[in-house]
Structure 1
């Protein structure tokens, strides 16, 4: 029997309890297909990506497929049953990415089509403002709503200080919880409505899997942190999308030891919007905010309204993103120009 997907074309409002809507299907995706394609190729969502295969779920579909190029967890595909590798990947509403590890500048996709990213940190020695700024920049660049979740509240008598430090550097919602407590579902409920897709991002040991279990009543493996430095051990080994009955889709991710920015200029700008506004008032448009005359940023540092450390963190992320986002052609052009400058200098000294 051929399924009728006409209700998902955006012509009528999809019922909240429909199978595809529960998986995150919405008009944004429905508007990318027509009735004929829906009948021939049913929509499925990618829940896992492996070396040579992916796992997808849909309306009455729950199966593994051969690897489909350029897919990541959270993607929507129009399933080609006869030739699965030719399944069409729908345009993403959001995508979270980073520079892949290694000497190259390849982009690694982390997740697609998230609505909310819970950036998780702990109220302990592993808390790091610079790291939070980095995660916020990536999430904001993706167009995903960030929420900072500070765990291990029950183990930190001074947990309010961690909240205050976080609120001082972002306009995002900041929530402190005991990840194993009963309050997790209620405090995160505003972002975990049916049909929504949420994800947990952060280092190992901060409680991402524990939070996933609390929201979805799941049994994802969890582990303890090291007592000497409060660092976590990897328990989640791959990104996986879980679906909660009458709740959201939840992405659990492995802990990230490194999060290199790439193509995240606007995200960095949002995190440091206060510094960008002040910098726009400098006398020179190319002001490096060092010793240049008329530098409003340095004036703010002198007046005590700008922390030198915050300026340094901003400049570091801007420089990192610029280098990592540079195309091969741009890099070659820059290196060629630098080589010409060096050669000209050498010839001048030889005369």
Structure 2
């Protein structure tokens, strides 16, 4: 369960921030409240379970009464909702500023991971877990979600040269911040401070065993009563156990909020064309310069992308990964039958 920052911290009495703004409230959400809803109380979802939802408001942790036959899968940690102050009944959910979601194997819909996240911290470690192809998939999801991605390299203190990992990660996307740190060190908090300001929300995603829960414990501080369990990893492949089993919202020591998530072993690409375009922006910018509008960038004459590969401006492997991700996205994006059998792509709102 989330808790408010310590009462003795200066940020809670700062005249620059209202109590709601400390929780991440902004004009984006305030503008959605209708005149007839003025008596309802904004609350932020702190954890979602099969049959209940826990939240937080300016008074601290609170419960939410749910209507009959609720579908809690429609809510994500980080959501803002409006509740009746007398009954605690959940009345409505406000539109999301950003939403991180993924498609599971065989699933028809998207599984919600976190909502209203300003920055997605993509966590991997400086060991055998480091995988560029997997990092690309997380970056695509972050781009599609509308969150700013930051790659966090943990266990940098155990690597012979953490700079090698950092350089490879920085090359994945234009202007991508990459931070190498020791998740147990107090320095980790200061290194991540630019993205953890008052009212800001970050979410941690990554494989099991990369140190997400350890980093959350460092960020929330020694006085936090919501410590996350941590586990060991297998030495031969750096794989770890799922020590976090549910998504949850935690107050960061000194300001901001962090959402911890269970480790994700498989991340499918689906319904994320914009996210792919952002990741491979240097290729997308060349495509209009090709001789043919329908150029596949594989063999056609006058292809600006292949010309860049030949000159060394683009790496051939990167272009191949771009093509493969586009193909996977096309194959995994569901289509539904429209009127009279016409095929239409299902559109999502983000």
Query: What range is the shorter-chain TM-score in?
Result: 0.7 to 0.9
Q: Does 1:280 align with 2:283?
A: no
**Secondary structure of 2:45's match?**
strand
1:206 aligns with 210
1:239 aligns with 247
CA distance in 2, matches of 1:258, 1:176: 24
Q: 1:298 to 1:244 in 2, by over 3 A?
A: closer
Report if the CA contact (8 A) 2:46-2:77 is conserved. yes
2:48 aligns with 49
CA drift at 1:265: 1.1
CA RMSD, aligned part only?
Answer: 2.2
CA distance in 1, matches of 2:81, 2:71: 9
CA distance in 2, matches of 1:294, 1:328: 37
1:263 aligns with 271
Report if the CA contact (8 A) 2:335-2:343 is conserved. no
CA drift at 1:102: 3.0
1:344 aligns with none
Q: Segments of 4+ in structure 1 off by > 6 A?
A: 82-85
**Secondary structure of 2:210's match?**
coil
Q: Does 1:196 align with 2:200?
A: yes
1:133 aligns with 136
Unpaired runs of 5+ in structure 2? 1-13, 345-350
Q: Does 1:153 align with 2:152?
A: no
**Secondary structure of 1:65's match?**
coil
TM-score (normalised: structure 1): 0.85
More deviation in 267-276 or 239-248? Answer: 239-248
CA distance in 1, matches of 2:156, 2:294: 44
Report if the CA contact (8 A) 2:64-2:88 is conserved. no
Find 1:119's aligned residue among 109, 119, 122: 122
Q: Which is greater in Rg?
A: 1
Provide Cα deviations, 1:53-84, integer angstroms capped at 9, x if missing partner: 11111133511433455211110001136776
CA distance in 2, matches of 1:104, 1:36: 38
Matching of residues 220-239 of structure 1 within 5 Å: 220-239=228-247
CA distance in 2, matches of 1:147, 1:104: 28
CA distance in 1, matches of 2:144, 2:252: 27
TM-score (normalised: structure 2): 0.85
Q: Does 1:88 align with 2:92?
A: yes
Report if the CA contact (8 A) 1:20-1:58 is conserved. yes
Q: 1:323 to 1:64 in 2, by over 3 A?
A: same
Unpaired runs of 5+ in structure 1? 1-13, 336-351
